[in-house]
A and B are shown apart, each in its own frame.
Chain A
């Protein structure tokens, strides 16, 4: 699998799912989408497909085809999609021509806001609300990114194959959480807690999570300082850490 395809998978499945979080984390975006009723399909030739649907002030992201999208956006290659994400490419609309101005103005405002949170400028992280938003979305990007790389990056596939079967619960105490399941033949991921995890990787607070997820601290030190709590089958934690550390190499 080539690098552009892996990156496209990460963009559509690990980064774009954060659109679900934006209305919950940013009141301005919540206000912006409250009356939207639209489903946008993203399809990449020889690559991934995903959709985002808005209704009743909620955004829902999903893999694959939406049953009745209002808008279809087509990309001729994974690279084409990645260029759009980088701001240097435009999609080919196949359906929903009347929604083009919506895409260019309103939806673009939302995606710009996503970038604002995921690629913070200096100093923004000092703001508590921004810290929470950035950390939440970085956590989910990491969790969903692990699933993508464990499925498509050859080295991460071999790491995943050596990982004990079970479910890792990762997140922030009294905050956002996600769980990654290493099954016999597949790696799956979902938001929220899970009963009876096989391993746990729990941060004391948003600041500790932010520092580690953005590689400003290391897990060993965080554990010893009481900023990160590990439990259970730690080989799962170790291997997830190895895969997580490779995500930035694709997204930066």
Chain B
């Protein structure tokens, strides 16, 4: 099978490194792509389930822009709604009627929601949610899951990261995932001072197997938070609308007070949303939080169209079916080569790991070989599929996986 080269990406990166810190920063940084020379750094175009890099190499995309692309790149329904709104107005001096329409739609769609608030990125609304929790309770401490990710604000980062002070972290208490006893212990250690608890609906760290909630975990968490009067925040930025159209809490059977959505809400257009229960609406009104582009109407129109399309298709079921099919085939191919490919997390956004080498080096080598052959796999992060991933894509991916296993064995 032909393998790709990336001279155009490498040349562009050299230019980028002169004028941009890190060349390409954040989660798009080439650093976790191992080895870096097996990966493209810049894309020139995208359509459906695929993108093309600046060297013209074509990839079946299993990162989906790290989650936003849920209906496929260039989805005509969403793009048309965006264009139509842009022809009317986008960033303007007044709020758009689309904002009201989108909020009404979310309130009807999400069972726990009585109101919605819009921003741009996940961190905008995880920050807002934490501020609401503190304002509503008059308390300081926020409990979060160790290894959980809620954006890059200083309070969200791990201790010791550059630009983060000890004071930024002093009111964040980390507990292990699925550990009710540890959660109870925090309330014992900080009586009357826990404002809220923030977590993803299941644990999806990087470089580690993803973990589903234990039987009854969420119900116990909910009861404990209610007992202590702490606000229950679900960070559904990555999972939102991939597990359940009513929010991932509906999939797992519990009721948080606040849910943070971003990524898949508008198929790539920049918008995030916080929805909440009636009891927190007045508090949310009092917390001042805004941004230059938070009222831009184009992404709101895109979100409305995207959510309607996801609901019409029953996208979560489609994504799970695509994921299950892909995963079952890949596991079988791995087994035929003598490898154990472990799949964890939801099938439509699973984390993969070849368990035969606990250092991940073998897994990194395999993901790199797949990427060189046209299936864009990262080795450190969960993947994503979209409703645009077809049977043809899956078959081609299986062929690539098979050839990549041959390559790493040779």
Interface residues of A (CB under 8 A from B): 155-156, 158-159, 162, 164, 166, 196-200, 218-221, 223-226, 229-235, 239, 242-243, 245-246
Do A224 and B161 touch across chains, with their CB atoms under 8 A apart?
A: no
Q: Is B318 at the interface (CB under 8 A from chain A)?
A: no
Most-contacted residue by chain A among B24, B159, B206, B360 (CB, 10 A): B159
Separation of A196 and B32 alpha carbons in the complex (Å):
20
Q: Is B189 at the interface (CB under 8 A from chain A)?
A: no
- Output the nearest chain B residue to A218 by Cβ-Cβ distance: B22
B7-20 interface code vs A (CB 8 A; 1 in, 0 out)? 00010011001000
* Closest CB in chain B relative to A166 CB, distance in Å: 7
Listed A/B pairs (6) with beta-carbon separation below 8 Å: A158-B159, A159-B159, A221-B23, A225-B13, A235-B206, A242-B161
- Output the nearest chain A residue to B162 by Cβ-Cβ distance: A245
* Closest CB in chain B relative to A154 CB, distance in Å: 9
Instruction: For A220, give its contact among B31, B34, B158, B161 (CB under 8 Å).
Output: B31
Q: Is B380 at the interface (CB under 8 A from chain A)?
A: yes
Separation of A43 and B320 alpha carbons in the complex (Å):
65
**Using Cβ atoms and an 8 Å threshold, which residues of chain B touch A243?**
160
**Using Cβ atoms and an 8 Å threshold, which residues of chain B touch A159?**
158-160
**Using Cβ atoms and an 8 Å threshold, which residues of chain B touch A196?**
359
Do A158 and B160 touch across chains, with their CB atoms under 8 A apart?
A: yes
**Using Cβ atoms and an 8 Å threshold, which residues of chain B touch A229?**
35
Given known pairs A230-B31, A232-B359, the reply for A224 and B36 (CB within 8 Å) is: yes
Do B34 and A162 touch across chains, with their CB atoms under 8 A apart?
A: no
Separation of A226 and B38 alpha carbons in the complex (Å):
11
Instruction: For B22, give its contact among A200, A221, A232, A242 (CB under 8 Å).
Output: A221
**Using Cβ atoms and an 8 Å threshold, which residues of chain B touch A199?**
359
Separation of A200 and B361 alpha carbons in the complex (Å):
9
Instruction: For A235, give its contact among B22, B30, B35, B207 (CB under 8 Å).
Output: B207
Q: Is B167 at the interface (CB under 8 A from chain A)?
A: no
Interface residues of B (CB under 8 A from A): 10, 13-14, 17, 21-25, 29-32, 34-37, 41, 146, 158-162, 166, 206-207, 358-361, 364, 380
**Using Cβ atoms and an 8 Å threshold, which residues of chain A touch B359?**
166, 196-199, 231-233
Instruction: For B364, give its contact among A223, A225, A231, A242 (CB under 8 Å).
Output: A231
Separation of A224 and B161 alpha carbons in the complex (Å):
21
Separation of A164 and B34 alpha carbons in the complex (Å):
18
**Chain B interface mostly:** loop
Do A223 and B31 touch across chains, with their CB atoms under 8 A apart?
A: yes
Do A225 and B17 touch across chains, with their CB atoms under 8 A apart?
A: yes
* Closest CB in chain A relative to B149 CB, distance in Å: 13
**Using Cβ atoms and an 8 Å threshold, which residues of chain B touch A245?**
162
Do A162 and B158 touch across chains, with their CB atoms under 8 A apart?
A: yes
* Closest CB in chain A relative to B50 CB, distance in Å: 23
- Output the nearest chain A residue to B17 by Cβ-Cβ distance: A221
**Using Cβ atoms and an 8 Å threshold, which residues of chain A touch B32?**
234
**Using Cβ atoms and an 8 Å threshold, which residues of chain B touch A234?**
31-32, 34, 207, 360, 380
Do A220 and B160 touch across chains, with their CB atoms under 8 A apart?
A: no
* Closest CB in chain A relative to B295 CB, distance in Å: 34
Do A226 and B36 touch across chains, with their CB atoms under 8 A apart?
A: yes
Given known pairs A233-B359, A234-B207, the reply for A155 and B159 (CB within 8 Å) is: yes
Do B21 and A225 touch across chains, with their CB atoms under 8 A apart?
A: no
Separation of A164 and B166 alpha carbons in the complex (Å):
22
Do A156 and B207 touch across chains, with their CB atoms under 8 A apart?
A: no
Do A155 and B24 touch across chains, with their CB atoms under 8 A apart?
A: no
Known: A220-B24, A224-B41, A234-B34. 18 other contacts (CB 8 A): A155-B159, A155-B166, A156-B160, A159-B158, A197-B359, A198-B359, A224-B13, A224-B17, A224-B29, A224-B30, A225-B10, A225-B14, A225-B17, A226-B36, A230-B34, A231-B34, A242-B161, A245-B162
* Closest CB in chain B relative to A147 CB, distance in Å: 16
- Output the nearest chain B residue to A198 by Cβ-Cβ distance: B359
- Output the nearest chain A residue to B207 by Cβ-Cβ distance: A235
Do B30 and A155 touch across chains, with their CB atoms under 8 A apart?
A: no
Do A232 and B364 touch across chains, with their CB atoms under 8 A apart?
A: yes
**Using Cβ atoms and an 8 Å threshold, which residues of chain A touch B24?**
220, 224
Separation of A200 and B359 alpha carbons in the complex (Å):
10
**Using Cβ atoms and an 8 Å threshold, which residues of chain A touch B34?**
230-231, 234
**Using Cβ atoms and an 8 Å threshold, which residues of chain B touch A231?**
34-35, 359, 361, 364
**Using Cβ atoms and an 8 Å threshold, which residues of chain A touch B207?**
164, 233-235
Separation of A224 and B25 alpha carbons in the complex (Å):
11
**Using Cβ atoms and an 8 Å threshold, which residues of chain B touch A239?**
160
Separation of A226 and B7 alpha carbons in the complex (Å):
12
Separation of A128 and B349 alpha carbons in the complex (Å):
50
Given known pairs A242-B161, A245-B162, the reply for A220 and B35 (CB within 8 Å) is: no
**Using Cβ atoms and an 8 Å threshold, which residues of chain A touch B41?**
224
Do A220 and B23 touch across chains, with their CB atoms under 8 A apart?
A: yes
**Using Cβ atoms and an 8 Å threshold, which residues of chain A touch B166?**
155
Separation of A231 and B17 alpha carbons in the complex (Å):
22
* Closest CB in chain A relative to B37 CB, distance in Å: 6
**Using Cβ atoms and an 8 Å threshold, which residues of chain A touch B22?**
218, 220-221
Most-contacted residue by chain B among A156, A220, A230, A234 (CB, 10 A): A220
- Output the nearest chain A residue to B379 by Cβ-Cβ distance: A234
**Using Cβ atoms and an 8 Å threshold, which residues of chain B touch A224?**
10, 13, 17, 23-24, 29-31, 36, 41
**Using Cβ atoms and an 8 Å threshold, which residues of chain A touch B360?**
232-234
* Closest CB in chain A relative to B233 CB, distance in Å: 23
Do A220 and B361 touch across chains, with their CB atoms under 8 A apart?
A: no
* Closest CB in chain A relative to B180 CB, distance in Å: 22
* Closest CB in chain B relative to A183 CB, distance in Å: 15
Do B36 and A223 touch across chains, with their CB atoms under 8 A apart?
A: yes
Given known pairs A220-B30, A232-B360, A233-B359, the reply for A242 and B25 (CB within 8 Å) is: no
